[in-house]
Amino acid sequence: MITTLRRTCLLLVSLLLAACAGYAGRGLQPGVATIDDVVASMGPPALRWQDADGSRQLAFPRGPAGVHTFMAFFAPDGRLIRIENVLDMPHFARIQPGKHDQQDILRLLGPSNPGWTAYFEARDELVWEWLFCDDWNRLARFDVLFDGRTGIVRTTYQRPELQGRSNISPYCSR
């Protein structure tokens, strides 16, 4: 009985670890892993970009319930340079209202949750939104608001996700 329980627990732990490895690309070595290795581990990317020098970038959003979007960056030879979570304050701080457009934001943060995209006709404003884990380990939402005529970022906004008990933002795991 105890042996069976122990085996079952070990199997569950190993399955959970394997799931986590694919989620963030853990175990993929920069300089060794290829684009095919990353896609095999993390699944199909939502978006792909190729630069003039042949380097590439792939976006792996883990929403709508997930709090990460991973960007994988590749050298011109197709070898992995790095994988990083882009839904965090340092990446949000790179956004410059009046300068960046929708394509810039997609390249920086990946696609927003389509179900949370909203257009406000009275303000002629399009809003994209992402769920993320803030610096205090709380669930939060990050919004980018675009001018409806130009597609240029008008402003950004961070707010807590108030779905927890007593409208307190729940904790999340990173």
Check whether the bond before 64 is cis (ω within 30° of 0): yes
**Half-sphere exposure for 169 (CA within 13 Å, toward CB):** 18
pLDDT in tens, 19-29: 444 688 889 99
Decide: helix, strand or coil at residue 52: coil
pLDDT digit string, tens, across residues 41-63 = 999 999 999 999 999 999 999 98
Mean pLDDT on 94-99: 96
Domains of the chain: 24-85 (3.30.1450), 89-167 (3.30.1450)
Task: State residue 165's pLDDT score.
Answer: 67
Provide the pLDDT for residue 161.
Answer: 73
Q: Give the start-end residues of each E strand in the chain.
A: 47-50, 56-61, 69-74, 80-85, 118-120, 125-133, 139-147, 153-160
Range in 109-113, 126-130, 156-160, 163-167 the model is least confident about: 163-167
C-alpha to C-alpha distances, 154 to 77, 87, 103, 151, nearest whole angstrom? 37, 19, 14, 9
| pLDDT surpasses 90 at 11 | no
End-to-end Cα, the chain, rounded Å: 35
Q: Which has the minimum average pLDDT: 3-17, 19-33, 86-100, 124-138?
A: 3-17
pLDDT recorded at residue 14:
38
How big, in percent rounded to 5, are the helix, strand and coil portions of the chain?
30, 35, 35
Query: At residue 134, does pLDDT exceed 50?
Result: yes
Is the pLDDT at 168 greater than 80? The verdict is: no
Q: pLDDT higher for 62 or 159?
A: 62
- For residues 45 and 61, the answer to whether their CB atoms sit within 8 Å is no
Over residues 93-113, the mean pLDDT reads 96
Question: In Å, what is the CA distance from 88 to each residue of 61, 136, 162, 164?
Answer: 13, 11, 18, 21
What lies within 8 Å, CB to CB, of 52 at 6+ separation is: none
What's the mean per-residue pLDDT of the chain?
Answer: 86
Evaluate if residue 152 carries a pLDDT over 70: yes
In the chain, % of residues over pLDDT 90: 66
